Amino acid sequence: MDPLSPVRSPHFELLERSSAGPARVGRLHTPHGSLDTPGFLPVGTYAAVRGLTPDELVAAGVQGILANTYHLHLRPGEEVIARLGGLHRFMGWAGPILTDSGGFQLYSLDHLCRRSEEGVRFKSPIDGSDHFLSPERCIEVQEALGADLIVTLDEFEPIPLEPGSADPSRVRALLERTLRWAERGQASLRRSDQLLFGIIQGGGFEALRAESAERTRALGFRAFAIGGLGLGESPERRATLLEATLAPLVVEAPRYLMGLGAPRDLVDAVARGVDLFDCVLPTRHGRHGSVFTHTGSLNLRNACFREDPKPLDPGCDCGVCARYSRAYLRHLIVSNEMLGPRLLSLHNLAFYMRLLEQMREAIAEDRFEAWCADWRRVYVEEDPDGDRSGGSSAATHTAA
């Protein structure tokens, strides 16, 4: 068989496609239920979406979550979780779970690591103990955790913010190692009930991104993760790189954009054919007093909300907006009352779930282009400090 011939994923069902572009609606099937795509996974770094219970997540519309391989390997350890029945039982979550590879954490804690072709030897930032993560060991850990969706180990560095400063030979070397590690990880897979994503890299070079996608596809992967984006590059640059990455991929397979991002990032990526996202941003923003609404984000620490009787978002039907005023929620935040971050996190997740639902509906009804134009006219992003911003940063990739 031609290695680049279409290979349908038995886990992914493509339901609708936009007639005006690559946006699409699908369903990703797992042993613990299905994910409607385009979909968003809140980040539960330590087997918990910080401050929120599984029942609250379900009430907000969450279908699946992401947990962190690196952190759970260090504490409590995958063996402990396996003995206690696996990650779903351990954390009381009945829906799909995706575990990342730990590659981003190894990059962000590079000062604790020694890298080689065999893998990465590193010291725990918790107690200084020695650990080793190879492509095979990465799969072994995720199999023990029992996640439904798992990811190969990769190696990368962010796209430099200064144009033309990247070393193409360095990016090429990281791409080649990521491909070799993907093949090793794939060969070590033992469980048939887990869907393995191969990671595409290539830095800020369109040709390398396209090559990485083609060669990852040629390895026979039936799901694709796109790494190394959302770390400071401009939205325009990201769009160009994303299009180069997606063009060679199998249509009938899920595409997962790792670590992104802000609502505008999600809309832009869905318009280019991305199916799945994860990010700490909605819960992190909530803990710092920033909330999302259909017209943009609000910093509730601002004094203008001190006596504001309105709900966070008059158009939102979540339980937080149905019961509480902006004034009350601001009071909780400035008083450091723990209920405040919980409620704002819940609202933000409900906003994200509704945003993805709106996109799915617009694609299914073949009006996505018009929906995007209307949404972009209304929505303005703002960071927790009150500065207008339209992009993501490395902060969105770290623990929730």
Residues contacting residue 78 through CB under 8 Å, at least 6 positions apart = 72, 141, 144, 145
Check if the beta carbon of residue 286 is closer than 8 Å to that of residue 43: no
Quick one: 239 exposed, middle or buried, by C-beta within 10 A (0-12, 13-18, 19+)? Answer: middle
**How many whole angstroms separate alpha carbon 34 and alpha carbon 63?**
8
pLDDT of residue 394: 43
Q: Is the peptide bond before 135 cis (omega within 30 degrees of 0)?
A: no
pLDDT grade, residue 157 (50/70/90)? confident
Asked whether residue 1 is domain-assigned, the answer is no
Asked whether residue 271 is domain-assigned, the answer is yes
pLDDT grade, residue 392 (50/70/90)? very low
**pLDDT tens for residues 61-86?**
999 999 999 999 999 999 999 999 99
Asked whether residue 7 is domain-assigned, the answer is no
pLDDT of residue 7: 52
Instruction: Judge whether 278 counts as a catalytic residue.
Output: yes
Catalytic residue chosen out of the listed positions 36, 100, 265, 313: 100
**pLDDT tens for residues 261-311?**
899 999 999 999 999 999 999 999 999 999 999 999 999 999 999 999 999
pLDDT of residue 10: 74
Residue 159 is classified by DSSP as P
Asked whether residue 112 is domain-assigned, the answer is yes
CATH number assigned to the domain comprising residue 318: 3.20.20.105
**How many whole angstroms separate alpha carbon 374 and alpha carbon 41?**
25
**pLDDT tens for residues 219-261?**
999 999 999 999 889 999 999 999 999 999 999 999 999 999 8
Asked whether residue 9 is domain-assigned, the answer is no
Q: For the whole model, what pTM was predicted? A: 0.93
**How many whole angstroms separate alpha carbon 176 and alpha carbon 211?**
10
Is the confidence at residue 391, as pLDDT, over 50? no
Within 10 Å of residue 38's Cβ, how many Cβ atoms?
Answer: 27
Catalytic residue chosen out of the listed positions 148, 268, 275, 278: 278
**pLDDT tens for residues 78-126?**
999 999 999 999 999 999 999 999 888 888 888 999 999 999 999 999 9
Longest distance between any two alpha carbons in the chain, whole Å: 67
**Location of structure tokens 């519309």:** 61
Instruction: Judge whether 100 counts as a catalytic residue.
Output: yes
Q: Give the up-direction half-sphere exposure of residue 286: CA atoms within 13 A in the CB hemisphere.
A: 29
The β-bridge partners of 30 are: 33
DSSP H or E stretch at residue 149: strand 149-151
pLDDT grade, residue 355 (50/70/90)? very high
Asked whether residue 2 is domain-assigned, the answer is no
pLDDT of residue 400: 61
18: left (phi over 0), alpha (psi -120 to 50) or beta: beta
pLDDT of residue 108: 87
Residues contacting residue 153 through CB under 8 Å, at least 6 positions apart = 101, 102, 103, 119, 133, 134, 135, 138, 181, 185
Asked whether residue 385 is domain-assigned, the answer is yes
Strand ranges, E, within 248-350: 255-257, 276-279, 290-293, 296-299
Check if the beta carbon of residue 390 is closer than 8 Å to that of residue 230: no
Which token pair is 291?
Answer: 């909330």
Number of domains making up the chain: 1
Asked whether residue 199 is domain-assigned, the answer is yes
Check if the beta carbon of residue 96 is closer than 8 Å to that of residue 82: no
**Phi, psi at 197, each rounded to 5°:** -95, 130
Q: Give the up-direction half-sphere exposure of residue 233: CA atoms within 13 A in the CB hemisphere.
A: 25
**Phi, psi at 238, each rounded to 5°:** -60, -40
What domain range includes position 372?
A: 23-400
